[in-house]
Structure 1
């Protein structure tokens, strides 16, 4: 018990909860999302041949859940792109991961201990997005439990649901990887 009081974990948790979500957690979310894009077959070649298509795929990986939730709730699909700081941050991460000299940034963020920290921070963002999605749906449909659940699900797994459209943009559409037909855990 004395060890726990000496570490003052309560104060640490309080100071951690005061860290603003942007840019620390969003940065980690963008890094991991675009790393997953780079792991896709043909993504590096696409970034060299068609950088605009590669950038669009990266933005779908970063903001796909917002686009789908807006579609589900009948709001403008492009509304989240008015958040300039997030789009610029995601674009900078895309540029660094795909075009940094000697893949230096990519090698740094792929170093396993660093990557594990980023993945853990990405999951914190996912939980927050689910909660925000449910809250957002509650404003439109006060008694629509299924709408709230569906919106939370879409906000939490939007990238997986947008993967078919993203593959179509890259020119490697694989219908057998449809997330709705073969759900991942």
Structure 2
């Protein structure tokens, strides 16, 4: 902590944690979220065929985490929609991305340098949402550590967790894309971040909340920008998770090792192809009859 005091990082973190997200950072969050929606197969066709369904999908992409967290905590799932300014801002972004003439707005925000800045700003909002979700659950359940983790996790990745429901609105059903089965980097990072913020709320982590928000945001923004610039869908946790899963659950490394340790039985030899075609039953009977007639002679 003395190093932080010398570098004056404590005050910077305190200012950063209190910085307002609306409208600049929330605008970036909505742009990137709806931009990812447009990348989904069939989303453009749905926007032409049914603008209402497209708008609902866009709202789920922007506010799905709030809806899911409210359902978990027993609040009204549409409670967040009373924020008219947020709804109107997200609706304006949706309209410009899908219906702007010549796709000018889409081309501007999809331009890689601009997109990287927007992605970094979105991760600022994500980190703040995780911290807010854990804090909210802490007030409702003071010693419910698992509830804090789950609420923070949902606040950070609720959009991905509701992806299957959003697909139904677009007329698509892909259960194999369930985020629980195939967790992306933001989903995994939201879970780990929720654990860290829960430990901080329980006073088991010797760091202030503002400092943790600042450090976690820096990690998320740097990693996500790097992955986006490289057009990668990988995760920096892959190697650690692979070894941990191998030690605790015997997978996935054990599968590869078993393949090396236990050799599979050799494949059955293919039947030999005869040089001459096999004789039919009639030909065999005729040959037998001729041999009997010769013996009789």
What is the rounded CA distance, in whole Å, between the counterparts of 1:148 and 1:18 in structure 2? 21
Counting only pairs closer than 5 Å after superposition, residues 88-99 of structure 1 correspond to structure 2 as 88-99=88-99
- Structure 2 CA distance for partners of 1:173 and 1:105, relative to 1, 3 Å: same
2:143 match: 143
- Structure 2 CA distance for partners of 1:16 and 1:51, relative to 1, 3 Å: same
2:105 match: 105
Task: Please report how far the alpha carbon of residue 182 of structure 1 lies from its aligned counterpart in structure 2 after TM superposition.
Answer: 2.0
TM-score, with normalisation over the residues of structure 2?
A: 0.57
What is the rounded CA distance, in whole Å, between the counterparts of 1:96 and 1:164 in structure 2? 25
Greater RCO (CA < 8 Å, at least 6 residues apart): 1
Task: Please report how far the alpha carbon of residue 20 of structure 1 lies from its aligned counterpart in structure 2 after TM superposition.
Answer: 2.3
RMSD of the alignment, in Å? 1.9
2:70 match: 70
TM-score, with normalisation over the residues of structure 1?
A: 0.90
CA offsets per residue over residues 102-145 of structure 1, 9 Å max, x none? 00000000111100000000000000000000011111101100
2:124 match: 124
SS of 1:77's equivalent in the other structure is coil
2:28 match: 28
Task: Please report how far the alpha carbon of residue 12 of structure 1 lies from its aligned counterpart in structure 2 after TM superposition.
Answer: 8.9
CA offsets per residue over residues 72-129 of structure 1, 9 Å max, x none? 1111000000000000000000000000000000000011110000000000000000
1:163 match: 163
Task: Please report how far the alpha carbon of residue 184 of structure 1 lies from its aligned counterpart in structure 2 after TM superposition.
Answer: 1.9
What is the rounded CA distance, in whole Å, between the counterparts of 1:104 and 1:19 in structure 2? 31
In structure 1, stretches of 5+ residues that fail to align are 1-8
Counting helix residues as a fraction of each chain, which structure ranks higher? 1
What is the rounded CA distance, in whole Å, between the counterparts of 1:17 and 1:142 in structure 2? 22
Higher Rg: 2
Task: Select between 160-169 and 17-26 the one with higher mean Cα deviation.
Answer: 17-26
What is the rounded CA distance, in whole Å, between the counterparts of 2:184 and 2:97 in structure 1? 26
What is the rounded CA distance, in whole Å, between the counterparts of 1:179 and 1:116 in structure 2? 24
CA offsets per residue over residues 136-168 of structure 1, 9 Å max, x none? 111110110000000000000011101000001
- Across the two proteins, how many residue pairs are aligned to each other? 177
2:37 match: 37
What is the rounded CA distance, in whole Å, between the counterparts of 1:172 and 1:34 in structure 2? 17
SS of 2:138's equivalent in the other structure is helix
- Structure 2 CA distance for partners of 1:110 and 1:78, relative to 1, 3 Å: same
